[in-house]
Amino acid sequence: MFYSPVITNAAEAVSNDRLHLFRYVEDPDQHKIQTYEAHGGYAAWKKVLNGMNPEAVREEVKKSGLRGRGGAGFPTGLKWGFIPKGSPKPRYLICNADESEPGTCKDRVIMERDPHAVIEGMAIAAYAIGCRLMFIYIRGEFNHCIERIKAAKEEAYAKGYLGKNIFGSGYDLDMVIHTGGGAYICGEETALLNSLEGKRGMSRIRPPFPAVEGLYACPTIVNNVETLSAVPHIINRGAEWYRSLGTEKSTGTKIFSLSGHVKRPGNYEVELGFSLRKLIYDPAYGSGIVGDKKLKGVIPGGSSTPMLTPDMIDVKLDYESLTEVGSMLGSGAVIVFHEETCIVWVVLRLIHFYRHESCGECTPCREGTGWMEQIIYRIEHGQGQPGDIEAIEDICGNILGRTVCPLGDAVVMLIQSAIKHWRDEWQYHIDHKKCLVKSDFEFK
């Protein structure tokens, strides 16, 4: 089993005290509990057990401004507060490690290289919501992560960080590792719940929200790996410190997975509000476009977020700034493509993916993604017909807002952005029965 060779900016995180998620990810022993402890690990968990009540933990995280790093950006502390007070049912915490948004490869690095950070974050979150049994749902392909989390879990039990009456606190906490079956949709929290219950991974209608009726119809909180990994740092250093990172509304740091046509693809932890241009061009990060070609477009937050054109890349990477330019921060997966990329080809790749991953529950998404793939396939292959662009737009209009989960909306927003920014190219394709620029990428 192999360790991911992905590039990170861990060296920068060592010298820059403001970065914290990546500080030790290049230490080959960080996955071992002794090393994790030597680096200050489990101090936050001890601090919590030694004198913070659950409400104080929730308040601290709420004050920190931490928001969900899986894609939705919902305030974490607020989410924890949605658990109904006085409910006699068991409560569950689930760490969403079903990382499968195209372009995203950050949670994998955390789990492989710093698995105890995930477990410690989960334990604190579990305590904050009064949970006694917590789960981590890891995508089934991530064998190395699964092995690392499994080994870390055993170490944590052996050292008494998990189990019965943890450090004499009277608090019991158990952990179950659950692995997925290769379905993208299971990263959506309600589909994940169904999948964890042994059902097909189809989404649930909200309300009720998982915090009220989630796993086994009990109050449940689902948080992303990166979100939970930030929690121990917030407890150790305080909400005020965390708030001093990033921007006023997008606090803290975020890992961006940079992929596509950049010279130095990798995972980079930066403060929220970082410049997208700098991430792509600065020698410490992306180092510019391969072959020094011209940038054509950027997908800023995973394939489900609307695309940006080169004139938009001075945008700051935070929740608000990306929303202002009509896109989203999403999972922080920045996918870059240069001038020799056909936009219809890009969209065909993605619509094929969404058609394949649509769970089939909602008719507009199930049928609409299939129809759009057929139309986009024929445009890309020189058989486009007048009216095809309008047909796609019409289908988009009939999916948007008409599905149980956001998969349908994601498809629509990415396609609409590609048509809005490069409509002439789509038209050229139909008129000339060929690509304006042909995507022809050779691997080395």
Partner 1 sequence: MILTQESIKQIQEKASQYPQRKSAILPALTIAYRQIGYLNSDVYKEISRVIKVPYVEIAEAASFYTLFPKQPVGKYLIQVCHNISCALLGADSLIEYLEQKLGIKRGETTPDNLFTLVTVECLGSCATAPMMQINQDYYENLTREKVDQILDELRAKV
Q: Which residues bind partner 1 (CB under 8 A)?
A: 1-2, 4-7, 90, 99-105, 107-108, 133, 139-144, 176, 178-184, 195-201, 216, 257-261, 265-267, 299, 303, 333, 335, 337, 341, 346, 349-350, 353, 356-357, 359, 439, 441-444
3-state secondary structure of 1: coil
Residue bearing tokens 């989410």? 79
What whole-number distance in Å separates Cα of residue 327 and Cα of residue 142? 29
Asked if 298 and 375 count as a contact pair (C-beta separation under 8 A), the reply is no
Rounded least distance, CB 443 to partner 1, Å: 3
Rounded least distance, CB 180 to partner 1, Å: 7
Nearer to partner 1, 110 or 235 (CB): 110
Nearer to partner 1, 195 or 416 (CB): 195
Provide the H-helix boundaries in 315-437: 319-324, 343-357, 363-380, 388-399, 407-432
Nearer to partner 1, 4 or 398 (CB): 4
Nearer to partner 1, 7 or 158 (CB): 7
Nearer to partner 1, 350 or 430 (CB): 350
What whole-number distance in Å separates Cα of residue 205 and Cα of residue 124? 29
- Buried/exposed 47-81: b ≥16 CB within 10 Å, e otherwise: ebbeebebeebbbbbbbbbbbbbbbbbebbbebbb
SS (H, E, C) 25-58: CCCCCCCCHHHHHHCCCCHHHHHHHCCCCHHHHH
Rounded least distance, CB 221 to partner 1, Å: 16
Rounded least distance, CB 173 to partner 1, Å: 14
One-letter amino acid of 350: L
Give me the sign of the Cα torsion angle 40, 41, 42, 44: positive
Rounded least distance, CB 200 to partner 1, Å: 4
Rounded least distance, CB 117 to partner 1, Å: 18
Nearer to partner 1, 210 or 260 (CB): 260
Nearer to partner 1, 247 or 257 (CB): 257
Asked if 247 and 316 count as a contact pair (C-beta separation under 8 A), the reply is yes
Rounded least distance, CB 375 to partner 1, Å: 19
